[in-house]
Structure 1
């Protein structure tokens, strides 16, 4: 069974690409690039995943990020955090060491705005371009090729990347200079954190009140309370199922980035800080790998 779902690909000139990081997001994203007709060389810290990707999608794998990036016009990346990102870009085996002049590095990791600016400057000094491009849409969005991508960086480089990246995206938008993509992803996570907590409280309240919450969600989902979270996670929250997509550990990492940035820029995010602590409670319950809708477990 394929790890990605079929998507009608818009015609774009074939590009020579690399993809670094074949986790739950990166593997299907790279798969969509290959199925859209682009040449793809992959790198993964665990070589077995790279070999499995090549067996499914074709293309080639490389032993280091530098080797993967060597002939690429565009190098895509999706790893875990700031340190992982530095690990695959910098140093003699890092992608920057292998990239040719004028090539573009596109980072889909949810990382700090500071590391995006740092690596953009490092790339510029080497005659390369860097786009920070975190994604929203979760594992399902990656598998369906329907991610929303928030970008920061050089406008001309963005214009070059966009038609290629639409292989795995439904929206690919430049929001400003380096770091703007990461800051927009923080806005996204702030909005989600408060929304999921509100949905959890609403469902728990309704259950305590003796209501048929699936019926209630069907009704209120046609009104002003409707949201993606309600449509996609409301019923599973009622059913106490939390094995979908985006894990609590990942959300806490993202909210940590938000809180660090808020301390720097003076933004007040009291609800976000509170929900971050609620997610810490879920981790203490053993829910590190439950999806983010598991906030409701605290209320039962």
Structure 2
């Protein structure tokens, strides 16, 4: 049976994610800060438009959010018109924003004290993953809340996993971003090395992608990097926001992340080149 759900935030990720929920037969109410985007979504998918998060959350079984950062998330949750003020007992709030583990724990505590659930559930897979319903979702929170939300999240995901207590989803996403940064820098260096050596780098990619060096970044970004194409994908600005969360958490838990810190500065150089909205594979530009 279809549930009553709301989706807060219709950016490049949230828009298609909410669309998958509507296609699956759920009654979807959407909220977006720019109202025209919500109007466009309703025209395309049906459902309802709410002008505030609190109105979107009224009477819903599940409320999803995918916004920009900690401040945006706090605003849509606990601000004057925040969704938390309308959440009914037994409902679950699922946050797909890449945010800090600190705010995840903070909001989980507030939700629990008010009788409803909260999951931090950041995603990996990018815009293409959202559009194709092939995201990987890493969750933190209570198992009971997770089991309520999992079959609905699965409409836009290929994998949905409970990682542990509140904040665990965000910490897992940080691991994901650490891995991506190092991989993209190494791929950039390898491609530039091959070019300088006079190799047919596309042919070289065909070969090494069949061995131990294979990665998603190599398969999906190698050839566009060679062609100097970066006007798509996960933006450098977003990666630097994520890295700021990673490095802050590393300072808190005593982790040493020298490669991540270095790649973060390389991305700052790409931003200075005017590449803030380029895909993260644009690290090769600075070489």
Question: How far apart, CA to CA, are the structure 1 residues paired with 2:252 and 2:163?
Answer: 20
Picking from 163, 180, 203, the partner of 1:215 is 203
Q: How large is the RMSD of aligned CA atoms in angstroms?
A: 0.6
Q: Deviations over 1:101-147 (max 9, x none)?
A: 11100000000000000000111111111000000000000000000
Matched, 1:198 2:186: yes
Q: Report the count of equivalent residues.
A: 287
* Structure 1: 4+ residue segments shifted above 4 A: none
Q: Secondary structure at the match of 2:6?
A: strand
* Matches for 1:1-300 after TM superposition, within 5 Å: 13-299=1-287
Match of 1:7 in 2: none
Deviation string for 1:181-232 (max 9, x for gaps)?
0000000000000000000000000001111111100111111110000000
Question: How many angstroms does 1:100 deviate by?
Answer: 1.0
Give 1:40 shift: 0.4
Once the two structures are superposed, residues 35-56 of structure 1 have per-residue CA deviations (whole angstroms, 9 ceiling, x without a partner) of 0111100000010000000000
Structure 2's unaligned 5+ residue stretches are none
Give the TM-score normalised by the residue count of structure 2: 0.99
Work out the CA distance in 2 between the residues paired with 1:70 and 1:99: 6
Unaligned runs of 5+ in 1: 1-12
- Aligned partners of 1:17 and 1:169: how far apart in 2? 17
> In structure 2, how many angstroms separate the alpha carbons of the residues matched to 1:188 and 1:230?
16
Per the normalisation by structure 1, the TM-score is 0.95
Report how far residue 92 of structure 1 moved.
3.4
